[in-house]
Each structure stands twice: as C-alpha cells, then as structure tokens.
Chains A and B, each alone.
Chain A
C-alpha cells in the first residue's frame, strides 16, 4: 500500500498551479538573495557567515551561562523570565497571566516557535481569543492551516484563495486585488491591536548582555504587538541567544539578505524590559518565556547540536530541489525543507517519519546558502545511519543487507564482476553496441520501479574495462 505521505506528495506534484506558485516564489527569493550578497554589495559575506557560525557555536556550547546572564539582564530592566519545558507549560503560564490581568484579547506576531507548540489552538481551548497579525499568518489562521514556508507562510495561496477566505471568514465583499486585500486586513487588525490586552511575540534573537528580545519584520505588526497592549510576552526557544548586542551587526546583515534579499528588513526592534520612567508608551509588563520543548536533548549530541544554530531565514527551503517540488505541507512538522528534515526527527524521534532524512538528493545547496553554515547534508546522512541502525536492531532490512553483502563480494572478485557485467550487457543491450540500453525497461518493475520510473540510464558505450584493454593493446601494439 502506498503510504499517506506519498499520496499527498503525488497530489502536490500533479497540481500545476501549486507547482508554478512554489517555483515562482522560491525562485524570486533566490534571485533577491543572490543580488543582496553579491561581492560588490557585501564583499565580506563569507567572513560574516564564518563569524555567525563561530558565535552560534560558542553560545550553544555555553548555553546555560548565557541563559542565566540573559535572565539576570531581563530582571535588571524590570522584566521577568519564565522557563517552560513544553507547550503545555507555556499555555499554563499565559492563561494564568491572562486570568490575573483580565485579558480578553491577545494579538500575536509571527513566530515559528509558537507554531511549533500550536499555541493558538491551545489558547483557543482556554477560551482566549488569539489573533495572528502578520498578513500571511492571518490568512493561514483564517484558513485553519499551517505555514507553508518559514518566511512566507501563505506562499501557496493565490489572491483568489485569499478573496474567498476573507469573504467567508470576515464577511467582506469578494476582493481580489492584493492592495485592497491588505487594506481590509489592516483595518480589521488595527481594531484588534487597539483593543488587545496582551501581545505575544516570538524572538529572532535574545541578547544575553542586554536582556533584549530582537524582532525582525516588514509589516509593523510585531512593533504594534509589542507596543500597543499593556503586556508583552515573548516566547522563544532557548537557542535564540547570542552573547552581545554588538553581535547583531553580524546577524542582522545575514538574516534579511538570506531570507528575502533585504539588507535590513523594514523594522528591527530591540526590546529590553517594560517602558521606563519618562517613556511615553510601550508595555507596562514584559515577560520572556524560554522554551525547551526538546532542545536540551539536542545539546547532548556534539555534532548534531549545530541544528540549533538556525536563524530561520528559509534560504535552505528556497534552494532545495525537494522542497521546490513537494512544497511545505508535505513535511511532517511545522519546520519544512532541509532544516525541517533535520529538526523534525531530532525533536520528534526517528520513528515518527523515518523516510524524512532520505527525502534529499544530498545536492548540498542548503549548506551552501545557510548563513550560519549548518552542515545539513552531513546531518541528514547521520540521521539516515541512525534510522538504519534502529531498523537493524529490529531485525529489518535483511534483504537489503544480503544484497549489499553480495555486492561487496562481487566487487572484491574482478573476474566474477566482469562476467556478471558481460551477462548483464548481453541481456540488456539492444545489440547495437550500446551497453545496458534496455535496462530501464527491464528494471522498471518490482522493487526497482520507484527508482526507474523516474530515472533513466545515461547512454552507455563500451565498458571501462573493455576500453582499457583496447588501449593497452594499442600501446603495446
């Protein structure tokens, strides 16, 4: 039986409109990035990547220290820090806070971390109205879907989809012009901002020496979320830390460029604590929830802990030939693309979706474009090897192992190898001197079908051994 994920992938592959939407969007993001890091624009791009990698590595290797420093700094600026083991603890904290302060309406800015713990659904279950305010996220929330892309959550929706969603959920006239759709969202959400009692944001960076939450965005919704309501709660994974505010000079140059090709996004907010005496506006209360949700488990693996360097720019998604075909909803978890393929198995366990680390051609584009130099292909290989080891323990793969044992034996015996080669060419050649020309036809069945139905042998001439013998014969002449 075909597994469910394969059926869904086949459906995505057959959807021409979706395919062209993904290709156009990711292609444009690739172009923008390429222009933004061109040597005449950013000559020290590679140096910045190296520095970003070193800083992230240092921070992760000393994470407990920086967590404590961050916490002390937040407190020094009048804010509070809450540690949370998982999503349930985040919601427990938020709903208790909401009850204490009489909160009825929560506005949210875009955050993958809150998607990860399904915060909105959990808050709705507590009867707390929670509204996403990033335009893409708002569309997705109204459609009851999951983000399609780390940076562009509604990448798969056309303007006609949006028109349908808005008229169904907001009761407005059918409007298909994106400018006007944006105006509709602006006016609906403006009322929410002004009425909200609490704003929940994520964090792009947590700055240890400042106790600061750094937010990067283009619309202004994160600024409103963290300014208009009287309470601001930032929910962030513990890996978001960087040691010093000055390190932002490195990370901010990389993040916008890698994500959308912007030298800087429209707004970068550096927020530390509630408004201070004399400041006219800003929240009265400031909380940071530091989320584990499996991250401390990842720290133990010296090699794979580099997965936690990720700054969620989405560049690896845009450049991935697999993501560009299957799209963002065919990955098992909120994180899609190459980074999702290494994060999901580590967070959720390898038994969940053991196929995931194999869904890669290992072309290496992801590692080439990663601004913090995560060795994604290497980690995919390690995860593959872990999957195989568990399967072996379970006694599976007998046939595959037998196959490889035979292969190894044949490779060690040149005579046998040559004989088998001759036999194969006799069966599979079309008699015109082409070697293995009929192989795709003959192999396009049984266990080989999945491979050969999509791929072909390149045209084959004479075998290397044959040519070598001819050459030495000529040389000896």
Chain B
C-alpha cells in the first residue's frame, strides 16, 4: 500500500485533493537561433574537436566510405543497420560485420570489435553532440562497447542545439525506448582530476558529415 500512502502524504502536505488538476505550468521555453547550414557544420566540427573528437567532411558518400576505410585499416568493426551506412558502401568494407538482429550475437561482436560504426539521427551544432535513437536500424551497443566510435551522417541532420531537438521531438518516448546524446569521447577525471579518455565507452570518436 506504499503507493496510496505516499500519494496521500504528498497530497496532504501540499493541500491538494485526489485528481485535482495542477496549476498552470510555466510555458515551455525553446529558442531556436537562425543559423545557416555552413555555420552549423563549422560549429559542430569545432565543438567535437574541442572535446578531443575527430571530424571529416566528406564530399560524397564514396568519400565518406574511403575515410572510414582509412581509419579502420584492417581491424574488426561492427556497423549498425542504418540504411545510410549501406548507401555509403561502408557496410561492404572488409572487416565490417553488420545486419545483426539478435541481441546476444550483436553483443558478442561489439565486445570483440575495435570499431563501432553508426549513423546518427541528429547532431547538435552548438555542443558537438550526436543524437542516437535506438531502433532496428541503430542498436545501443554499437556506439558504446568498441573502443572507437565512428558516426557518419548526412549534413541536413545537423540541428542548432537542444532547443531545436526538443522542438522536432517534443516527446522522444513516442519513438524509442532510448534516446542518447553523445558529446565527445567517454571520459573521467575521478583520479586527481586528471582527464582520461575512454573509461567505459569509446575513447575515440570520429564524426563524418556527408
């Protein structure tokens, strides 16, 4: 009976009754600046680089694929099922495993891989953030378990910042069980405030904009 007890205590303390509508909530505050695409790309790259991430601007999908190939070398990678990666030809590169639909198989592959390659649903220009919505196309672990994360996305997905994101997605929960914002490589400063990258998540991140 904890539920009724707790809610009853809260109502009594606040002087409210069962089912009473709340007072008027403060209006939502979202401000989207006017920014041209070129400025957004420049801002995104600057922010990612400031965080210790790497950036590449690809002139074409083939260029993006060539960049990823050069980063991978001959090492093992897992690519998400994002159609954009396929369009770029990245899923066809040697050493890249993709098309996982089974959780355990995906997990084993990600735990062993040197690189995780994903697309991103959006990027936030002002903070250098990748926005990842979990789906059949994007699994959560691809951007998390391998020590290096490469994200490849088309330039029109670059938003100005959080305010624009929450304008486009007022309720992310309607689309996915998990929306993750990734801002730079995994880091800690828990020992003597010394910055160390790559604690549990990837210590290296590449953002490729096509």
Contacts and interface: CB of A to CB of B under 8 A. Distances in A.
Interface of A: 21, 24-25, 28, 44, 47-48, 51, 54-55, 58, 61-68, 73, 77, 82-85, 89, 133-136, 139, 152-155, 157-159, 162, 178-179, 181-182, 185-186, 189-190, 193-194, 207, 209-212, 218-221, 223-224, 227-228, 238, 243-250, 252-253, 260, 262-276, 278-282, 286, 290, 292, 296-297, 299-300
Interface string B4-29: 01110111111010001111011011
Interface of chain B, main secondary structure: loop
A66 B23 CA distance: 11
A279 B162 CA distance: 24
Contact of A276 (B13, B163, B176, B183): B176
Nearest to A79: B177
Given A65-B22, A83-B6, A224-B144, A135 B193 contact: no
Nearest to A226: B178
Nearest to A140: B190
A224 B145 CA distance: 8
A262 B187 CA distance: 12
Interface stretch (B63-71, B84-92, B99-107): B99-107
Nearest to B144: A223
B23 to A, nearest CB: 6
B28 A65 contact: no
A271 B177 contact: yes
Contacts of B16: 62, 64-65
B126 interface: yes
B14 A64 contact: yes
19 contacts: A28-B193, A136-B188, A162-B191, A178-B192, A220-B186, A223-B180, A224-B144, A227-B140, A227-B178, A264-B124, A264-B181, A266-B183, A267-B180, A280-B139, A281-B134, A282-B178, A292-B9, A296-B13, A299-B10
Interface residues of B, number: 77
B30 A249 contact: yes
Contact of B170 (A246, A264, A276): A246
Contacts of B193: 24-25, 28, 152, 155
A62 B23 CA distance: 7
Contacts, number: 268
4 shortest A-B CB distances, which residue pairs? Answer: A220-B201, A62-B22, A136-B190, A299-B13
Interface of B: 2-3, 5-7, 9-14, 16, 20-23, 25-26, 28-31, 47, 81, 100-103, 106-107, 111, 124, 126-127, 129, 134-136, 139-141, 144, 162-163, 165-167, 169-173, 176-194, 196, 198-202
A55 B14 contact: no
A178 B191 contact: yes
A264 B183 contact: yes
B48 to A, nearest CB: 12
A199 B166 CA distance: 28
A262 B126 CA distance: 12
B2 A83 contact: yes
Given A220-B186, A280-B100, A158 B192 contact: yes
Nearest to B18: A64
Nearest to B50: A263
A245 B178 CA distance: 13
Contact of B10 (A25, A155, A238): A238
A260 B193 CA distance: 11
Nearest to A47: B29
A85 B199 CA distance: 35
Contacts of B177: 77, 271-276, 279, 282, 286
Nearest to A160: B192
A266 B201 contact: yes
B199 A135 contact: yes
Count chain A CB atoms within 10 A of each CB in B5, B7, B20, B31 and give the residue with the most: B7
A185 B199 CA distance: 8
Given A83-B3, A267-B181, A211 B191 contact: no
A219 B30 contact: no
B14 A246 contact: no
Given A219-B200, A266-B183, A275-B134, 16 more contacts: A58-B26, A83-B7, A152-B193, A154-B191, A159-B194, A182-B198, A212-B173, A228-B107, A228-B141, A245-B172, A263-B47, A264-B183, A266-B187, A267-B183, A300-B12, A300-B14
